[in-house]
A and B are shown apart, each in its own frame.
Chain A
Amino acid sequence: DIVMTQTPLSSPVTLGQPASISCRSSQSLAHSDGNTYLHWLQQRPGQPPRLLIYKMSNRFSGVPDRFSGSGAGTDFTLKISRVEAEDVGIYYCMQATQFPHTFGQGTKLEIK
């Protein structure tokens, strides 16, 4: 199985400041069809996860444009341009390039 490793595990940020989360996969996530099936999820406290970013850089329906994703191969990044209070929670990267789908261990975003 592909192992997904996120850093940092905890990220204290100031409201209005940017935040960045990294995700590294144990194998390339480039699929033979040309796509990279690396996705980002957000889980607010007490809530189920929700899809934020799919295929590395595409925002899912309703996701604010302060969220962006980038990367290639085995290294990926989720960025929040200006953190808002509602962004507090745990962020997970997830790969669906290879079966079974696997998740990173999560990064907890909290306000300083």
Chain B
Amino acid sequence: EVQLVESGGGLVQPGGSLRLSCAVSGFTFSSYWMHWVRQAPGKGLVWVSRISENENTINYADSVKGRFTISRDNANNTVYLQMNSLRAEDTAAYYCVRGSRDFYGMDVWGQGTTVTVSS
């Protein structure tokens, strides 16, 4: 069974940092792109970042560029999102999502981890 399990969310003050992790199982992690998508409370979905299988391609939404860093550890089947200089508007549920190998887009979503930026 394909599983994506996020962790690392929590309450952080503005300007602070958090590192999200997403541990995956049930598929060959090193063969898939991985994405992070976020959802502010009561709001819609916003794509945040993506990383290719071998880290050759990394992209970010303009809203997080220069503050967030995506990375992966293929040996440990884990993708990370390092979030620095956090702002109140970064408050959201963050979902780890597998990129599809069959089409442009994403297919399997994790349960999410919640980040709250507040003083």
Which residues in A have some Cβ–Cβ distance to B below 8 Å? 31, 35, 37, 39, 41, 48-51, 54-55, 60, 92, 94, 96-97, 99-106
Contacts and interface: CB of A to CB of B under 8 A. Distances in A.
A49 B94 CA distance: 11
A29 to B, nearest CB: 10
B110 A54 contact: no
Contacts of B44: 92, 103-106
Q: Which 3 A-B pairs have the closest CB atoms?
A: A96-B105, A96-B104, A103-B45
Interface string B81-115: 00000000000010100001011111111111000
A48 B104 CA distance: 20
Interface residues of B, number: 21
A105 B39 CA distance: 11
Interface in B1-56: 35, 44-47
Interface of B: 35, 44-47, 59, 61, 93, 95, 100, 102-112
A70 B45 CA distance: 22
A96 B100 CA distance: 11
22 contacts: A35-B103, A35-B104, A37-B104, A48-B109, A48-B111, A49-B109, A50-B109, A51-B108, A51-B109, A54-B102, A55-B103, A60-B107, A92-B45, A94-B45, A96-B106, A101-B35, A101-B106, A102-B47, A103-B44, A103-B45, A106-B44, A106-B45
Contacts of B107: 51, 54, 60
A39 B45 contact: no
A54 B111 contact: no
A35 B105 CA distance: 12
B61 A100 contact: yes
Contacts of A103: 44-47
Which one of A31, A94, A101 has the greatest number of beta carbons of chain B within 10 Å? A101
A100 B109 contact: no
Contacts of B46: 103
A56 B19 CA distance: 35
A64 B36 CA distance: 27
